[in-house]
């Protein structure tokens, strides 16, 4: 059985970088539409002050999450110039390879207990 991988990340946005972040997210979504069929959800939320954001990601599998990271690696590099990861929580049962990749983001893994 292939397990979905869900990620909720929060990031502080460097002062005055909201517009650049929004443009970068648009560029990431363009790449994802072309190359990431296994990305099921990639929603961003930004506070009114433009200082904090949350991303909610759902991937069909660990392989899809890894493919996404590879496909948007250029944008991810730029993303970390615009802000700082505050937290990353991974819900599900990512493969050892996906766990290793997510560890680079300081992600906390919460394995599946039960699903309905």
Domain ranges of the chain: 5-110
pTM for this prediction: 0.93
Task: Over range 76-82, report the average pLDDT.
Answer: 94
Task: Over range 65-70, report the average pLDDT.
Answer: 97
Q: Thinking of the domain 5-110, which architecture would CATH place it in?
A: 2-Layer Sandwich (3.30)
> H-type helices in 36-72, by residue range?
62-71
CA 46 – CA 101 distance, rounded (Å): 25
User: Do 12 and 58 meet the contact criterion of CB atoms below 8 Å apart?
Assistant: no
* Residue 68 binned pLDDT confidence (cut-offs 50, 70, 90): very high
Instruction: Report angle CA 43, 97, 70 to the nearest 5 degrees.
Output: 50
CA 90 – CA 80 distance, rounded (Å): 19
pLDDT digit string, tens, across residues 98-109 = 999 999 899 999
């Amino acid at each position: 059985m292939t397990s979905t991988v869900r990620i909720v990340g929060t990031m502080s946005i460097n002062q005055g970088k909201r517009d650049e972040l929004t443009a970068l997210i648009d560029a990431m979504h363009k790449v994802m539409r072309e190359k990431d069929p296994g990305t099921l959800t990639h929603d961003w939320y930004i506070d009114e002050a433009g200082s904090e954001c949350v991303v909610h990601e759902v991937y069909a599998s660990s392989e899809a999450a890894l493919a996404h990271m590879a496909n948007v690696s250029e944008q991810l590099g730029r993303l970390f110039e615009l802000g700082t990861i505050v937290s990353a929580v991974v819900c599900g049962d990512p493969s050892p390879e996906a766990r290793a990749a997510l560890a680079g983001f300081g992600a906390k893994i919460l394995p599946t207990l039960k699903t309905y």
